[in-house]
Copies of this chain bind each other. A is one copy, B any other.
Amino acid sequence: MDNKCNFCTMKSKAAEKLTAKESEKLSANCVTVKFKKGDSIIKQGTYSTNVAYLRTGLAKIHIQGPYYTQVVRIVSQGNYLGLPTTFGDKVNQYSVTAVEPSEVCFIDITTFRKLLNLNSDFSNQIILELCKSELESYQKCVNRTQRHIRGKIAGVLLEFADEIYRSEKFTLSINQEEMGNLVDASRESVSRVLSEFVRDGIIVMEGRNISIVNRQMLLNICLNG
């Protein structure tokens, strides 16, 4: 029997705790699907029967709000996409869409539950990740409400550089509208602030290619508005 999950080079931290035998069980109950940019991975309101793991790529989690769709967060490769929505409710409470070409592993929820019960290292790791992501969401909430637009945009740029692309140069895969949505600002404001950063020599921008030139300044704007 093949054991692709065991030899996967992009295992989640939790999956690393699994034994070869458990990995085998995982492999047998997990399908990997490719998504193009813009494809819907999880759709709010539909039944959820699988845990989704973003093996490669980049995705956004978004919720239908009363007036428009709100991007709640960006998830980068190596993270679970749908734990809360899969465990918390029978129906998906949010949508997930690929922002870059992505590979997603859909794990049968019964299998996933079995693994949680079988291997406490695995379940501890999952608990840890849930905790971290809750903390992160609290922090995001504070940033969203307390910072001014300049600070918030500086913050996302740093997040892209540090957490997602791990480089001072990167190509944005979301447009300014979506970026505004992510930090709670209008498309126009995003445009204005980005131009301002370019004018002040903090970043260089060619289309959607961005390089951070003055990281110190960006950090400063992020922290002090």
Could you say which of B84, B113, B225 contacts A134, with CB atoms under 8 Å apart?
Answer: B84
Q: Which residues of B have CB within 8 Å of A145?
A: 65, 70, 144-145, 184
**Interface residues of A, dominant DSSP:** helix
A84 contacts B124, CB within 8 Å?
no
Among A124, A135, A141, max chain B CB count under 10 A is at: A141
Residue interface mask A113-124, B partner, CB < 8 A = 1: 100110010011
Q: Least Cβ distance of A140 to chain B in Å?
A: 7
Count chain B CB atoms within 10 A of each CB in A65, A94, A223 and give the residue with the most. Answer: A65
Q: How far is the CA of A142 from the CA of B123 in the complex (A)?
A: 29
- Asked whether B116 lies within 8 Å of A124 as measured between CB atoms, the reply is yes
- Whether A131 sits at the interface, judged by CB under 8 Å, is yes
Shortest CB distance A201–B (Å): 24
Give Cα A134–Cα B133 distance, bound, in whole angstroms.
8
Across the two chains, which residue of chain B brings its CB closest to A86?
B131
- Chain copies in the assembly? 2
Asked whether, in the complex, the Cβ of A131 is within 8 Å of the Cβ of B84, the reply is: yes
Task: Report chain B residues within 8 Å CB of A127.
Answer: 87, 116, 123, 126-127, 130
A63 at the interface (CB under 8 A from B): yes
Chain B neighbourhood of A132, CB < 8 A: 84, 88-89
Q: Is the CB of B146 within 8 A of A65?
A: yes
Contacts of A216 in B (CB 8 A): none
Chain B residues within 8 Å of A6, by CB = none
- Select from chain B the residue with minimum beta-carbon distance to A61: B138
Assess whether A27 is interfacial by the CB under 8 Å rule: no
Binding site for B on A (CB under 8 A): 61, 63, 65-68, 70, 72, 83-89, 93-94, 113, 116-117, 120, 123-124, 126-128, 130-135, 137-147, 151, 184, 223-225
